Chains A and B, each alone.
Chain A
Amino acid sequence: MWEYTDKVMDHFRNPRNTGVIEDADGTGEVGSMACGDALKLTFKLGGDGRIADAKFQTFGCASAIAAASAMTELIKGKTIAEAEKITNQDVANFLGGLPGEKMHCSVLGEQALEAAIENYRTGKPAGVKEIEGRVVCHCFGVTEKEIEHVVRENHLTTVEEVTNYTKAGGGCGNCLDDIQEILDRIAGEKPKAETKGKTMTNLERIKLIEQVIATTIRPALQADGGDINLVDVDGNRVIVALKGACASCPMATYTMKGFVEAQLRQAVSDELIVEAQ
């Protein structure tokens, strides 16, 4: 049984704003019955340019119903520009959190809102999902662009998380390697942060090293049962301690030079030398 918050159960039992607005200004339809969840979101603007009313219909589990209900509550009273900024994380937060495996329900809400706003702006018929770019997961029809979007917005680092958020990879599993590649690519570009190349104070430099370790290096090592601590930074020498499975791993030297040092050089400075404590 899933651990749903009281708020999820409340919105499942008493969903707000159900139905369809007949003369809606924007209509978004996403998902399908085959995939196990589908959502139709409609909204109507008031004279002040704010969303005066929003309604939904959904085919899905308790959390899909709750997420759709939450989305309608979140967008009411907002301008289109404000509504556009609402993310799936906002929906999940509004509900006091969702089980990891159910995050795709909140993503469906965000996608429905995007589709409804697109429909409002362009007048293109709702419900016709235009495939943009390469389809990665053929079981659930998830594109590379959608995966990238969700990975960036939610700071996802593992394939399992991508499946939880987008369903991609949850069917036959043939695209799991593709998803990993997308994750690797995004992880690789993340720390490039504008900072590299600029003249940094020693403090900025240490902070950046810490940041790269926290966002890129540590999650990768933890995935293999290991961990890493920053011990000291002395000029270009970065002293670290490998922990857990990494400490006794025969590949430790490679991990240190080929991965940790490479990541830090790429993000911070080409002159860095990483050493074990």
Chain B
Amino acid sequence: MKTVYLDNNATTQVAPEVIDAMLPFFRDAWGNPSSMHSFGGNVKKHVDKAREQVAALLGADPSEIIFTSCGSESNNMALRGVVEASGRYPHIISSCVEHPAVLEVARYLNKKGCRLTELKVNGGGHLDLDELKASISPSSLLLSLMWANNETGVIFPIDEIAPMAKEAGLLVHTDAVQVAGKIPIDVKKVPVDLLSISGHKLHAPKGVGVLYIRKGTKISPFILGGHQERSLRAGTENVPYIVGMGKACELAMEHMDEEQTLVAPLRDRLEKEILKICPDTRVNGDPNARLPNTTNISFEFIEGEAILLGMNEHGICASSGSACTSGSLEPSHVIRALGVPYTAAHGSIRFSFSRYNAGEDVDIVLKHLPGVIDRLRKLSPFIKH
């Protein structure tokens, strides 16, 4: 059975070119980049090159790139680092639809004594920019907002928000984990101070992330005990993964156009056909302002885990905001924040594409999904039969 992988916001296939780029640094060039001998020292050039490749994707200077172990670490480092460096318990502004790696850190800092504003979103998943402006006070230090939402793909207008927040004297962090490689990022044009990305969301392996830190930003070290990563994040460099991350960023630039020409049309066809074939379905979020690869669809009267397992029988991989899949008993905080009724939140399914998908994948979903939905609805006590 063919695996139809439509869960790319969860993780992505490692690009074959990335694997090829990494392998020599396991087998042959395994030296320590900090060594004085050339066997190790030569490895440093490859770390430097990777830093340049990442910087190029973001429009940054290589000296502004810090390698971390994952997107969650980047987010932790950004929030905790600038708060600690401020020497006070400042006001932090964020939103209620952030990834837990931001939201839980912000709430942790809140418990420690920082004031926290969690901005609400409307039914389309958008912020009220007036509310955002009004929330800024003299004690505000940091605004942390995701560039695009992992569950709905809804894009926040960071290009519009960042200048406004900078003008008000705030530091701006954006969790761009879902954006990198999908839509262009240019920190020369968008004045964010900190930006997080994750390797495994853009065809590098799990275990490597990046925090962009604009020159001059006051931030405390996250891991002490070494000079690596400008002493902000000590620890011997994870060379193969850093090299892989660099290669993945280079590939992302080369393939960026395909997100619009190849990926978005696949997503659009799947979404359009599902809405046509399956009654009582709805798209969550704003279809006009979202990532090219994501759609989040609610199937009323049935529950997400059952839909996922039903699709799994046909080799189809997707994810759900239902309570049962999250391991908690409440449906996704993002879907609920949009005001989606519980009844539809439990039956929400996210399909997320990548450049490795093809029309055949959409065909397979359209062949099997209606049967899965129909079978579960026949079991449901909430539908008129």
Contact = CB atoms under 8 A, between A and B. Distances in A.
B281 to A, nearest CB: 16
A140 B329 contact: yes
Nearest to A13: B313
Nearest to A58: B379
Interface residues of B, number: 25
Interface residues of A, number: 28
B342 A33 contact: yes
Main secondary structure of the interface of A (DSSP, over half): mixed
B303 A36 contact: yes
B67 to A, nearest CB: 31
Interface in A205-264: none
Contact of A65 (B313, B379, B382): B379
Chain B CB within 10 A, most for which of A33, A40, A60, A167: A33
Given A15-B379, A33-B342, A36-B323, A65 B306 contact: yes
A115 B303 CA distance: 23
Contacts of B331: 36
B306 A163 contact: no
Interface string B343-369: 100100000000000000000000000
A39 interface: yes
A64 B330 CA distance: 16
A57 B379 contact: yes
Nearest to A169: B329
Interface in B285-338: 301-306, 309, 313, 322-325, 327-331
Contact of B306 (A40, A62, A101, A139): A62
Nearest to A15: B379
Contacts of A140: 329
A102 B325 CA distance: 11
A104 to B, nearest CB: 8
Given A29-B381, A61-B305, A64-B303, A34 B343 contact: yes
B323 A39 contact: no
Contacts of A101: 327
A171 B302 CA distance: 21
Contact of A171 (B329, B343, B380): B329
B329 A170 contact: yes
A250 to B, nearest CB: 27
Given A36-B323, A36-B324, A163 B382 contact: no
Interface of A: 12-13, 15, 18, 29, 33-34, 36-40, 57-62, 64-65, 101-102, 139-140, 163, 167, 170-171
Given A15-B379, A60-B324, A64-B306, 18 more contacts: A18-B379, A33-B343, A36-B303, A36-B322, A36-B323, A36-B329, A36-B342, A38-B382, A59-B303, A60-B303, A60-B306, A61-B322, A61-B325, A62-B309, A101-B327, A102-B324, A140-B329, A170-B328
